[in-house]
Amino acid sequence: MAEDLIVHSEGAVRVLTLNRPEKLNALNPAMHEALADAFTAIESDDSVRAVLLTGAGRGFCAGADLTQNMGSEMRDLGASIDKHYNPLVRRMRTLPKPVVSAVNGVAAGAGANLALAADIVIAAESANFTQAFIRIGLMPDAGGTHFLPHLVGDARARGLAMTGETITARQAAEWGLIWRCLPDEGFMDAALALAADLAAKPTQALAAIKRALNASGTNDMDAQLDLERDLQRGLGRTPDFVEGVRAFAEKRPARFTGA
């Protein structure tokens, strides 16, 4: 049987490919377990300096697998959210390494919000996004009600969540839901190049940026200024900062190690 998640490395980039293409990579418990294991390995491996999440086949991820008991009867969806979705979103957001989502095709329901949990989201021109939940009597989960208003504002967040309308990758980029929409041709090469570029950057500075931006959703300006000071103090004591300034003085590209 094919693995539900393909995990491989391209240099310092750990590539995670959701792999149930016949179901548009809908998430089942086995896939959730595999994702959890993959992130545990990434967290403890200093040689991994960026993560790239994508999907096999024509979809990125169609959200929860609706054929595995979902909806056949009323049940406690909160349990699987507690067990799988919330820990996954929290891990992606707090991982001290950059996570890129390469949305190669349709991203629906929790699949869309899984994509948005990454630090940088790029999508192929033929991809699209839909908060499909409302069509089956649910509301956005996996962080959707947090990410959407932050990214696109309240009016568009409500429109997307309440209508379940599909938007194209181009529109998603125009609205600021994602970083960039890229041509289909060469999409995965471009995604890998982006992730590799991030992997070669000063990892601790990227982790600090992540922490500060995550905190900015709840901090007031004073708290944010203090946090920036504390994080920058830490970065000023890293070898990568020394290397960055030295490389500038010597007019050469910096060689960051993540230290």
- Which residues of this chain interact with ligand T3D, rule CB under 6 A? 23-24, 26, 62-67, 77, 80-81, 106, 108-110, 130, 132-133, 135-136, 138, 141
Give dist(CA 150, CA 131) in Å, integer.
15
Closer to ligand T3D at the Cβ: 64 or 99?
A: 64
Give dist(CA 252, CA 232) in Å, integer.
24
Q: How far is the CB of 36 from ligand T3D (least distance, A)?
A: 15
Q: How far is the CB of 148 from ligand T3D (least distance, A)?
A: 14
Closer to ligand T3D at the Cβ: 136 or 162?
A: 136
Closer to ligand T3D at the Cβ: 6 or 66?
A: 66
Q: How far is the CB of 34 from ligand T3D (least distance, A)?
A: 16
Closer to ligand T3D at the Cβ: 113 or 204?
A: 113
Q: Where are the strands (E) in 155-257, listed by range?
A: 166-168, 180-182
Residue 253 backbone dihedrals phi, psi, to 5 degrees: -65, 140
Q: Which helix (H) or strand (E) holds 13?
A: strand 13-18
Give dist(CA 218, CA 234) in Å, integer.
22
Closer to ligand T3D at the Cβ: 54 or 130?
A: 130
Give dist(CA 63, CA 115) in Å, integer.
10
Q: How far is the CB of 57 from ligand T3D (least distance, A)?
A: 10
Q: How far is the CB of 194 from ligand T3D (least distance, A)?
A: 25
Residues paired with residue 17 on neighbouring β-strands, in sequence order: 6, 54
Q: Cβ(61)–Cβ(32) under 8 Å?
A: no
Q: How far is the CB of 171 from ligand T3D (least distance, A)?
A: 16
Give dist(CA 70, CA 64) in Å, integer.
8
Closer to ligand T3D at the Cβ: 136 or 225?
A: 136
